[in-house]
Structure 1
Amino acid sequence: MPGAALASDLGALTVAVWSMVACADAARRHPAALRRFWLLLAVTMGLAAVGRALWTVFRLTGDDLPHTPLIGAVFTAGIVTGTAALLCAGSAPRSLVGRARTVLDGMIVALALIPIGWVLVFRGIAAADLSDPLRTFGLLYPMLDLMQLTILVAVAGPGRPVWLPMTLIGVGLAVRVVADAAYVSLFAAGEYAPGHPIDVCWPLTYLLIGVATRHPPPHRDAGDDKRDSPLPPRWRVALPYLPVGGAIVAVVLTRRPTGQTPPLVFAALMALLAALALRQGLAANENLRLVARLRHLAYVDQLTGLPNRLTFVRRLRAGLRDKPAVAVLLLDLDGFKQVNDRFGHTAGDTLLAGLAARMRAAVADDGMIARLGGDEFAVLLAGGRPVTPERLAERLLAALHPSSGEEVVGVHPSASIGIAEYGPRHTSYTDLLRDADIAMYAAKAAGKSAYRRCTPALRESAVSRAELIADLRRAVDEQQLHLDFQPIVDLSTGTVRSAEALVRWRHPRLGLLSPARFLPLAEETGLVVPIDRWVIREACRAAASWRDRLPEATVAVNIAAAHLRRPDLVATVTAATGEAGLAPQALTLELTESALIEDTDAVLDRLGRLRELGVRIAIDDFGTGYSSLSYLHRIPATELKIDRSFVSRIPEDARAYATVEMVTRLAGAFDLRVVAEGVETDGQHAAVAAIGCAQGQGWRYGRPASLAELHGRAGSGAGAAPGGGSGAGAVPGGGLKAGAVSGGGPDPAGRVTGAAESGLTLT
Structure 2
Amino acid sequence: MPPQEVNRDAVVSTGRSRPERVALLGVLLVVLVEAIWLVARLPNAALVADGGAVVVASWASVACAAVAYRSPPPLRRFWGLLAATMALSAVARALWALHRTSSGDIPHTRLVGLVFITGIVLGTTAFLLSPSAPHSTVGRGRAVLDGVIVGLSLVPIGWVVVFQDIAADELTEPEHTLALVFPMLDLVQLTILVAVAGPSRPMWRPLAVLGASLCVRAAADIGYVWLLAHDSYVAGHPIDLGWPLTCLLVGLATRHAAPPDHAHLDETTIPPVPPWWRVALPYLPVGGAIVAVLLARHPTGQTPPLVLVCVLALLAVLALRQGLAANENLRLVARLRQLAYADQLTGLPNRLMFTRRLRRAIREDAPVAVLLLDLDGFKQVNDRFGHATGDALLVNIADKMCEAVDGDGTVARLGGDEFAVLVDGDRPVPPERLAERLLTALKPADDEEDVGTHPSASIGIAEYGPQHATHSDLLRDADIAMYAAKAAGKSAYRTCTPELRESAVSRAELIADLRRAVDEEQLELQFQPIIDLGTGQVHSAEALVRWRHPRLGTLAPGRFLPLAEETGLILPIDRWVIHEACRAAAIWRRGAPEATIAVNIAAAHLRRPDLIATVTGATAAAGLAPRALTLELTESALIEGSESVLDRLRQLRELGIRIAIDDFGTGYSSLSYLHRIPATELKIDRSFVARLGEDARAYATVNMVSSLAEAFDLRVVAEGVETDRQHDAVAAIGCAHGQGYLYGRPGSLADLSTSLTGS
Q: Structure 1 length as normaliser, TM-score? A: 0.88
2:592 partner letter: L
Is contact 2:663-2:684 (8 Å) kept?
A: yes
How has the CA–CA distance of structure 1 residues 10 and 666 changed in structure 2, closer, same or farther, with 3 Å as cutoff? Answer: farther
Matches of 1:409 and 1:540 in 2, distance apart?
46
Measure how far apart 1:614 and its partner are: 3.5
Matches within 5 A, 1:312-391: 312-391=354-433
Q: Provide the residue aligned with 1:152 in structure 2.
A: 193
2:524 partner letter: H
Measure how far apart 1:258 and its partner are: 5.1
SS at match of 1:427: coil
Q: Provide the residue aligned with 1:556 in structure 2.
A: 598
SS at match of 1:7: helix
Matches of 1:458 and 1:605 in 2, distance apart?
43
Tell me the alpha carbon deviations over residues 219-266 of structure 1, each in whole angstroms, 9 at most, x when there is no partner: 457652211211111111111112222222333332356542222222
Q: Provide the residue aligned with 1:205 in structure 2.
A: 246
Q: Say what the alpha-carbon RMSD is for the aligned residues.
A: 2.6
How has the CA–CA distance of structure 1 residues 23 and 640 changed in structure 2, closer, same or farther, with 3 Å as cutoff? Answer: farther
Q: Provide the residue aligned with 1:109 in structure 2.
A: 150
How has the CA–CA distance of structure 1 residues 661 and 48 changed in structure 2, closer, same or farther, with 3 Å as cutoff? Answer: farther
How has the CA–CA distance of structure 1 residues 10 and 496 changed in structure 2, closer, same or farther, with 3 Å as cutoff? Answer: farther
Is contact 2:168-2:298 (8 Å) kept?
A: no
Q: Provide the residue aligned with 1:190 in structure 2.
A: 231
Matches of 1:221 and 1:673 in 2, distance apart?
67
1:233 partner letter: P
Is contact 1:72-1:138 (8 Å) kept?
A: no
How has the CA–CA distance of structure 1 residues 269 and 523 changed in structure 2, closer, same or farther, with 3 Å as cutoff? Answer: same
2:101 to 60, 85, 88: 60
1:526 to 568, 579, 587: 568
1:595 partner letter: A
Task: Tell me whether 469-478 or 288-297 shows the greater mean CA deviation.
Answer: 469-478
Matches of 2:195 and 2:652 in 1, distance apart?
62
Measure how far apart 1:390 and its partner are: 1.0
Q: Provide the residue aligned with 1:761 in structure 2.
A: none
Residue 429 (structure 1) aligned with residue 471 (structure 2): yes
2:663 to 621, 637, 652: 621
Is contact 1:642-1:675 (8 Å) kept?
A: yes
Higher relative contact order (CA 8 A, sep 6+): 1
Count residues with an aligned counterpart: 717
1:8 partner letter: A
Q: Provide the residue aligned with 2:17 in structure 1.
A: none
Which of structure 1's runs of 4+ aligned residues deviate more than 6 A?
none
How has the CA–CA distance of structure 1 residues 586 and 134 changed in structure 2, closer, same or farther, with 3 Å as cutoff? Answer: farther
Is contact 2:588-2:756 (8 Å) kept?
A: no
Measure how far apart 1:665 and its partner are: 5.2
Matches of 1:3 and 1:686 in 2, distance apart?
128
Matches of 2:707 and 2:400 in 1, distance apart?
51
Measure how far apart 1:443 and its partner are: 0.8
Q: Provide the residue aligned with 2:215 in structure 1.
A: 174
Q: Provide the residue aligned with 1:35 in structure 2.
A: 76
1:307 to 349, 353, 357: 349
Task: Tell me whether 695-704 or 352-361 shows the greater mean CA deviation.
Answer: 695-704
Matches within 5 A, 1:206-605: 206-214=247-255, 215-220=257-262, 224-256=266-298, 259-407=301-449, 410-605=452-647
Matches of 1:396 and 1:607 in 2, distance apart?
44
How has the CA–CA distance of structure 1 residues 124 and 494 changed in structure 2, closer, same or farther, with 3 Å as cutoff? Answer: farther
How has the CA–CA distance of structure 1 residues 409 and 676 changed in structure 2, closer, same or farther, with 3 Å as cutoff? Answer: farther
Tell me the alpha carbon deviations over residues 718-747 of structure 1, each in whole angstroms, 9 at most, x when there is no partner: xxxxxxxxxxxxx2xxxxxxxxxxxxxxxx
Q: Which structure's residues are more often helix, by fraction?
A: 2
Measure how far apart 1:652 and its partner are: 5.9
Unaligned runs of 5+ in 2: 1-41
Tell me the alpha carbon deviations over residues 186-217 of structure 1, each in whole angstroms, 9 at most, x when there is no partner: 22233333333333332332233233334211
1:201 partner letter: G
2:159 partner letter: W
How has the CA–CA distance of structure 1 residues 259 and 122 changed in structure 2, closer, same or farther, with 3 Å as cutoff? Answer: closer
SS at match of 1:501: strand
Measure how far apart 1:654 and its partner are: 5.6
How has the CA–CA distance of structure 1 residues 402 and 2 changed in structure 2, closer, same or farther, with 3 Å as cutoff? Answer: farther
Is contact 1:324-1:422 (8 Å) kept?
A: no
Task: Tell me whether 362-371 or 3-12 shows the greater mean CA deviation.
Answer: 3-12
Residue 642 (structure 1) aligned with residue 684 (structure 2): yes
Measure how far apart 1:668 and its partner are: 5.0
How has the CA–CA distance of structure 1 residues 42 and 628 changed in structure 2, closer, same or farther, with 3 Å as cutoff? Answer: farther
Is contact 2:50-2:97 (8 Å) kept?
A: yes
Measure how far apart 1:487 and its partner are: 1.4
How has the CA–CA distance of structure 1 residues 704 and 255 changed in structure 2, closer, same or farther, with 3 Å as cutoff? Answer: same
Matches of 1:228 and 1:151 in 2, distance apart?
22
2:133 partner letter: A
Residue 82 (structure 1) aligned with residue 112 (structure 2): no
Unaligned runs of 5+ in 1: 717-730, 732-763
Measure how far apart 1:410 and its partner are: 4.5
Matches of 1:25 and 1:394 in 2, distance apart?
69
Tell me the alpha carbon deviations over residues 527-550 of structure 1, each in whole angstroms, 9 at most, x when there is no partner: 222221221121112111112222
SS at match of 1:177: helix
Matches of 2:289 and 2:689 in 1, distance apart?
99
Measure how far apart 1:650 and its partner are: 4.7
Matches of 1:338 and 1:380 in 2, distance apart?
28
Task: Tell me whether 91-100 or 205-214 shows the greater mean CA deviation.
Answer: 205-214
Is contact 1:72-1:134 (8 Å) kept?
A: no
How has the CA–CA distance of structure 1 residues 142 and 679 changed in structure 2, closer, same or farther, with 3 Å as cutoff? Answer: same
Matches of 2:493 and 2:432 in 1, distance apart?
8
SS at match of 1:696: strand
Is contact 1:338-1:410 (8 Å) kept?
A: no
Is contact 1:67-1:138 (8 Å) kept?
A: no
Matches of 2:193 and 2:454 in 1, distance apart?
52
Tell me the alpha carbon deviations over residues 404-451 of structure 1, each in whole angstroms, 9 at most, x when there is no partner: 322457421111111111223223322222221211111111111101
Is contact 1:44-1:78 (8 Å) kept?
A: yes
Q: Structure 2 length as normaliser, TM-score? A: 0.88
Is contact 1:335-1:410 (8 Å) kept?
A: no
Matches of 1:41 and 1:411 in 2, distance apart?
54
Is contact 2:481-2:495 (8 Å) kept?
A: yes
SS at match of 2:446: coil
Matches of 2:463 and 2:398 in 1, distance apart?
23
1:518 partner letter: F
Q: Report the identity percentage.
A: 71
SS at match of 2:541: strand
Is contact 2:199-2:273 (8 Å) kept?
A: yes
SS at match of 1:512: strand
2:231 partner letter: G
1:349 partner letter: D
Q: Provide the residue aligned with 1:139 in structure 2.
A: 180
Matches of 2:203 and 2:61 in 1, distance apart?
23
Task: Tell me whether 421-430 or 433-442 shows the greater mean CA deviation.
Answer: 421-430
